[in-house]
Structure 1
Amino acid sequence: MNKTTTQALVIWASLLVVSCDSKKSPSSGEQSFTTRIQQIPSALQEGLKAHGGLEKWAKYGTLSYTVASKSIPEKHLIDLNSRKVLITTDSTFTMGFDGKDVWVSPNLAAYPGSSATFYHNLVFYFFSLPFVVADPGVNHNALPDITFDGVAYSRISITFGSDVGESPDDQYILWFRKSDKLLSMINYSVTYFDPANASKFNAMVYEEWQTVNGLKVPSKWTSYKWENDSLGDKRGATLITDVSFQEGTPDATLFQKPETAEIDNKGN
């Protein structure tokens, strides 16, 4: 799953914050923000607006939520400006991204998955669509409208710059329902473990939404195999609860690696 570079994200977040403060005079940052929005395909512009607007998203510096569908629920805390991450569980492991390294406490073996680096912002990325595809280094291409299972959709193809994130060869297709402009489904490829998978798509259906601080964000999505341009076997569902947005940013020390934690060497 693509993880956009922290440096680029910080720059973009800074532009967003400038553009959303009506008390500040117009600046080059604000003009850059406006220009970029105008360059995004109209279906994505409409989708962002339907989900509460990119300007509103940019007002917040802190996001937290609970991944309730895990056998051991996880609490995720994200600094939306730096994209630093802290994932905590009651007893199993704590994972963090301090802006440079991904670490796990008490050790890497405590995390039951295959790669902490791959996982640390995976849920955040799915949760934060469509907002995060307005990040710099993201390429947008409008695809022909399509009717799927009797429902009309607008679609946007997403690719990434060669220097963006851990997996720049990942690809996405975002499906927006034409009736309400909401994100309904995505196709996505995962190249972190094998670059040859760039065009091998999976699917994810957004099934339930919740409105928090004026932003429409998911409360449930289900993953599927994507076979013959159709939904295949179900892979599993993700449930998100306790969503909170705050305008201020979290204490930076929360993301620092504890002395006993181990850094993921990013080996596949």
Structure 2
Amino acid sequence: MKYQLALILFVVFFSSCKERSKEVNSDVKEMPEVQVVNKATNYPEALNKVFDAHGGLQNWRSKKTLEFDIPKPDARERHIVDLYSRKDKIVLPNVTLGYDGENVWLLDEDKNYKGNAELYHNLMFYFFTMPYVFADDNINYKKAEDLEFEGKSYPGVHISYNDGVGASSKDEYYLHYDPETYQMAWLGYTFTYGSDEPSDDVRWIRYDNWMPVSNVVLPKSITWYAYEGREIKAPKRTVSFENVTVGEMAKPDGFFEKPEKAEIVKGKG
């Protein structure tokens, strides 16, 4: 099926993973060179302002269930995620995959699925829920070099993870924001899935199409760009998100459990 080919292309390009404002120009200068925080502590001032520009962490953390569609040329993916446990489910034509809190599972009785379920089950969730996923535990922050694009400078925060966190703890991320609005503008990321070595090949996604959903601000679409180092070239591909809901009710018990006929793809450990 065509959507399976598109999914394979996704795997090549993407990686799984992993409040109040002060004076505008003071945050980046005052950010510690390296800072390790978790949910219970304060975040770098610049990052707090970015969270605020997207609805605020307190508001985001009042939500329990996220759902969205990703349209494809001949199919539509429905993604459902529990925002507390990070259990998830993706419904495709004739295929369902998900994570039940312990195992990644795949229901594919016709054996048509050609993608990497272990990688893909939560991949688009992380890209879609920027910048909020950068409030997770076990993250290190430091100032990033400004990103220049079309004559405008975008300040940034460099994000890395502690060893052993997620499927690719060597991945690094660069959140760059508009200095006037503090909305997220760019995401740079490295892809190290399946390798123990870090990478210096930073790929770039533009975040410039936002929409309000249940008092939070989420992307309506994101666009990957061609690049040479930190020089960003022309747009390459856009992924859209539709039928988005962010609710304060959790799904019923068992919603994310492995179906009887599904196969375990990868255990939690």
Shorter-normalised TM-score: what interval? 0.7 to 0.9
The structure where strand makes up a greater share of residues is 2
The structure where helix makes up a greater share of residues is 1
Runs (4+) off by over 6 Å:
none
Find the residue that maps to 1:111 and give its secondary structure: coil
Distance 1:127 1:108 in 2: 30
Alignment RMSD = 2.0
Q: Is the 8 A contact 1:157 1:171 kept in 2?
A: yes
Distance 1:191 1:157 in 2: 16
| Equivalent residue runs for 1:162-201 within 5 Å | 162-196=163-197, 198-201=199-202
- Please point out which of 104, 109, 112 is paired with 1:110: 112
Aligned counterpart, 2:35? none
Q: Is the 8 A contact 1:140 1:157 kept in 2?
A: yes
- Please point out which of 2, 17, 20 is paired with 1:3: 17
Q: 1:171-207 CA distances to partner (integer Å, 9 max, x unpaired)? A: 0001101021111111101111334452211111113
Aligned counterpart, 2:32? none
Mind listing any 5+ residue stretches in structure 1 that lack a counterpart? 5-31
Q: 1:21-53 CA distances to partner (integer Å, 9 max, x unpaired)? A: xxxxxxxxxxx85x612xx22211110000000
TM-score in terms of structure 1 length: 0.81
1:54 and 2:33 are equivalent in the alignment: no
Aligned counterpart, 1:36? 41
Percent identity over the alignment is: 30
Q: Is the 8 A contact 1:158 1:172 kept in 2?
A: yes
Distance 1:228 1:106 in 2: 39
| Equivalent residue runs for 1:144-223 within 5 Å | 144-196=145-197, 198-223=199-224
Mind listing any 5+ residue stretches in structure 2 that lack a counterpart? 1-14, 19-37
Q: Is the 8 A contact 1:59 1:247 kept in 2?
A: yes
Q: Is the 8 A contact 2:66 2:82 kept in 1?
A: yes
Aligned counterpart, 1:256? 257
- Please point out which of 85, 90, 95 is paired with 1:87: 90
Of stretches 123-132 and 102-111 in structure 1, the one that deviates more from structure 2 is 102-111
Aligned partner of 2:41: which letter?
A: R
Aligned counterpart, 1:76? 79
> Between Structure 1 and Structure 2, how many residues are aligned?
234
TM-score in terms of structure 2 length: 0.81
